[in-house]
Amino acid sequence: QATAKSNDQENCVFQVKWEVDHLFTEFKGKPMCLVCLEPLSAMKDFNLSCHYNTLHKVKYEKYTEAARAALIADLKSKVHKQQNFLLPEPQPHRRLHSRRRMLLRLRAKAKEPLSDGEIVKRCAVETARAFGDANLVKNVDTVSLSRRTVTRRIFDINDHVEGKMKQVMHDCKYFSLALDERTDVMDVSQLLIFTRTVDRSVEVHEELLKMVSLHDTTKGTDIFNAVSSVALTWLDKLSAVVTDGAPAMQGRRTGFAGLLQQS
């Protein structure tokens, strides 16, 4: 009885030696292969040994002692990195918020009127009802797409994106700007400010930093003031500027380029 009890305890507890012998680790109470990330249901040496001998022994048996320890450390590091990207399954209300944000983002990109949200919702409910899925009808019906809600959520998305961009600019080592001034359908000049950043890991990111409306004039001073209002904090890290070639952009004295050099 003592031997049987000892075997049962061994089958329920992960043995440290299995890392070296079979390249396994413990994950959520189960043994998981460090090579293929396959979990096994039982904590049994025989099962782990069969898995290793069948699938991985030919490739990894040459690693011994220090080399095997380094291999295990490398495999465990890769596993931990992958686990950090795995998020827990969102709760129902979180899934609904996620779907609503996705829908609002699509509507904003398509430039659809914010007042159409209720119509879109009714169409979605009727479509779900046509498929006979009562649970889906209930979930869709709980999504609020009123004009006030849509407006507030889109502003929230805008604030979130701006916060992310400020963090990117703050963390970057150097950045460059690309400027383009266009007139929209309402005859208002819009200055598009694009940025390309390089961080300390030498990773490059390209994004639209800001779109600034120029309601009065589009002189060099107007453009310079617009850029300064957006990127003044980080101008010491500015490495290059590309413009559309307009005189207001490239003028040596009163153009944006000249004013930037003088500053």
Tell the residue number behind the tokens 């507890």, with chain if given.
13
* 162 domain residue, yes or no: no
* Cα gap 12→146, rounded to integer Å: 54
Same domain, 81 and 96: no
Do 234 and 252 belong to one domain?
A: yes
Give me the domain span that covers residue 227.
Answer: 172-262
What type of residue sits at position 257?
A
Nearest C-alpha neighbor of 234 from the set 189, 185, 171, 190: 171
Residue where a domain stops, chosen among 156, 184, 201: 156
> Does residue 167 belong to any structural domain of this protein?
no
Residue 193 covered by a domain: yes
Which one of 113, 129, 156 terminates a domain? 156
> Would you give per-residue pLDDT tens digits along the chain (263 residues)?
444 444 444 556 888 899 999 999 988 888 999 988 888 888 889 889 988 998 899 989 999 988 899 999 988 888 777 665 444 545 555 666 666 677 777 777 777 776 777 787 788 788 878 888 788 777 777 777 777 877 887 788 788 888 888 888 888 889 999 999 888 888 889 999 999 998 887 788 899 998 999 988 888 889 999 888 888 888 889 999 898 888 888 887 888 888 888 87
109 vs 70, 105, 176, 225, CA distance in Å?
A: 49, 6, 26, 28
Claim to verify: residue 145 and residue 181 sit in the same structural domain: no
Q: Is residue 161 part of a domain?
A: no
Domain final residue, candidates 39, 60, 85:
85
Q: Domain count of the chain?
A: 3
Q: Quote the CA–CA distance of 44 and 7 in Å, as a whole number.
A: 9
Query: Is-contact 178 242, C-beta < 8 A?
Result: yes
Per-residue pLDDT, 8? 47
The tokens of 169 are what?
């600019």
Percent composition of the chain: helix, strand, coil (DSSP 3-state, to 5)? 55, 15, 25
pTM assigned to the model: 0.52
Say if residue 113 is in the same domain as residue 66: no
